[in-house]
Amino acid sequence: MAMYRKLGKTSSQRKALLRNQVTMLISNGKIQTTEARAKEIQKIVEGMIALAVKEKDNYEMVTVKTKVPKKDKDGKRVKIEKDGKKVTDFDEVEKQIKKDNPSRLHARRQMLRTFYDVTEYAKKDDEKTAASKKKDAKKVDLCAKMFDEIAPKYATRNGGYTRIVKVGLRKGDAAMMVLIELV
């Protein structure tokens, strides 16, 4: 008996496909795909959410001192003259950060092994130039989303974090299409 579906792909293609679809499911909340792929995705996502739920409160709040550049009224860095060179002026600020305990750090690394990098762009109100799109781009930390948003939502639930809903047959090859979503 097989442990997983081959999905008609080589191992590297299959892993890339599943990583991409798991990333999109966590990022968007739902995706449409074939039934066989959805069942494979479901196995991976359920395990990752269970891991996030288990480790969601396993951290310490630590106060650290950091250097933050001073900024003027326009938001530009303030430069000062030092030894004949212009250098940025810094302020020391105390910040509260979350320091992961070892088991949560391991869980985070397990998730990072699966997730691809996700970049969100601003809404498309009008046509923008490539430079402004790049400026408005923002990287999304899916691990933080798992621990801070998804895990607390499912803390009282014992499994069954995803739902598969049949949509119908695909027109080209009559494959069963489904919608897999976070419950």
Distance, in Å, from the CA atom of 26 to the CA atom of 47, rounded to the nearest integer, reads: 13
The pLDDT assigned to 140 comes to 92
Residues 6+ apart with CB under 8 A from 19: 114, 115, 116
Q: Considering the chain, what percentage of its residues have pLDDT values greater than 90?
A: 75
The answer to whether the predicted template modeling score (pTM) of the entire model surpasses 0.75 is yes
Q: Which residues pair with 33 in a beta bridge?
A: 178
The one-letter code for the residue type at 65 is K
Domains of the chain in start order, with CATH, are 10-57+108-119+130-183 (3.90.1030.10), 59-100 (no CATH)
pLDDT at position 153 over 90: yes
The DSSP result for 32-78, as a single string, is EEEHHHHHHHHHHHHHHHHHHHHHTT-EEEEEEEEEEE-B-TTSPBP
pLDDT at position 137 over 90: no
pLDDT at position 126 over 70: no
The pLDDT assigned to 11 comes to 95
DSSP-H helix ranges across 102-164 = 102-114, 130-136, 142-145, 151-153
Other C-beta atoms closer than 10 Å to the C-beta of 136 total: 12
What does the block give as tokens for 28? 């968007």
pLDDT at position 160 over 80: yes
